[in-house]
Structure 1
Amino acid sequence: MVQFTVHDETNAPEDARPHLEAGKGRLGFVSSLNGVMAESPELLAGYNALAEQFGKSSLPAKAKHVVWITTSVLNGCEYCVAAHSTLALKMGVDAEVVEALRANKPVGDDSLEAVRRLTELVVTDRGWVEEQEIEAFLAAGHTRRQVLDVILGVGMKTLSNYTNHIAHTPLDPAWQDQEWTRA
């Protein structure tokens, strides 16, 4: 197995260091994911830029967590499911919603379920989502802009999911309580 270095602020390529510092500012520590991505400062910068833009998107905060967890479950990313489950719970997403998402099951909240369903279809159908599914998302109270915001979130998570698959990123202690294993 190819080993990837988990960089920190002291041994990362110079161009990656500001991005590691920014991540540390958001989380309070340099995550293993950011440490691995630092091998390619451009990947780390791109991921952080997408994360920043998705954070500014029109989706409500809880819906963003739905996109992150759903994408990560469907892509089988153990690291990201644990990390985003932890963050979702910390940000007030109901535990029942988080558990349903981790089990790839519908959630009880109609608005969040519409986000989960669209995210699922974007991932599994590689963007070829049927028109009636888009209409159902809109009928649940979402906007055309939010259709595109879901795509942004899926793109962001796909970068991290694939990185973790290839690098076998070790789980940070902060995410241990929400450890998840793909089926």
Structure 2
Amino acid sequence: MSKFKVPTRGEVSENNQTVFDNLQKGLGFVPNIYAAMAHSENALSSYLQFSSAPTSFSKKEKEIIDLAVSQLNGCRYCQSAHTALGKMNGFTDEQIIELRKGGASWDYKANVLAQTAREVADKKGKVSEEVLESFYGAGYSEANLVDLIVAIGIITITNLFHNVTDVDIDFPIAVEI
């Protein structure tokens, strides 16, 4: 049961009602995590603008980051949401489990990305030269490193928000690992 009330469209500001309408049109529903952010007049639209900004990573690479970091941060909501999104981006159930653990044995570059994302998040950015050399050696650039840090920040916001509010998960529940 949620600790934090998930408001309905009629319970949020006019600005957030417009955001709800756009989410409904684009996704087919308003995820509880987003609806709960609408308690704030500005947080939801600011978060969505930040999280949908262009990045040097593909959608698939973004899911690698989100899965690895959400597992590390213990966010069941994001583990579930990104498991669903990971499947939509072509990952198998087994690959998703491995990505959540911070690896990808089937693909060298994906493996390095998952490991680096997890290491940056876990060490709060204080990673070794070896980690960075591996990242660059896999073909990633300094621009990718900047975008990785931003992506980790974005998913961490959502992870922390759910871990504090415990809003009901409205995606198929990911298996626990």
TM-score by length of 1: 0.88
Note the C-alpha offset of 1:2.
8.7
Measure, in 1, the Cα distance between the counterparts of 2:70 and 2:8. Answer: 24
% identical aligned pairs = 26
Contact 1:24 1:31 in 2 (8 A): no
Note the C-alpha offset of 1:164.
0.5
**Which residue pairs with 1:148 in the alignment?**
146
Contact 1:47 1:160 in 2 (8 A): no
Measure, in 2, the Cα distance between the counterparts of 1:105 and 1:114. Answer: 9
Aligned pairs for 1:17-28 within 5 A: 17-28=17-28
User: Residue 6 in 1 paired to residue 6 in 2?
Assistant: yes
Q: CA RMSD in A?
A: 1.9
Measure, in 1, the Cα distance between the counterparts of 2:159 and 2:19. Answer: 19
Q: What stretches of structure 2 of length at least 5 have no aligned partner? A: none
User: Residue 46 in 1 paired to residue 46 in 2?
Assistant: yes
Q: What stretches of structure 1 of length at least 5 have no aligned partner? A: none
Equivalenced residues, count: 176
Note the C-alpha offset of 1:110.
0.7
Contact 1:7 1:35 in 2 (8 A): yes
Q: Give every structure 1 segment of 4 or more consecutive aligned residues whose post-TM-superposition deviation is greater than 6 Å.
A: none
Measure, in 2, the Cα distance between the counterparts of 1:69 and 1:45. Answer: 23
**Which residue pairs with 2:174 in the alignment?**
179
Residue of 67, 70, 74 corresponding to 1:69: 67
Aligned AA for 1:81? Q
Q: 1:118 to 1:25 in 2, by over 3 A?
A: farther
Contact 2:2 2:167 in 1 (8 A): no
Note the C-alpha offset of 1:105.
4.6
After superposition, the C-alpha distances for 1:135-159 in whole angstroms (9 at most, x for unaligned) are 1101001111111111111111111
Residue of 116, 119, 127 corresponding to 2:117: 119
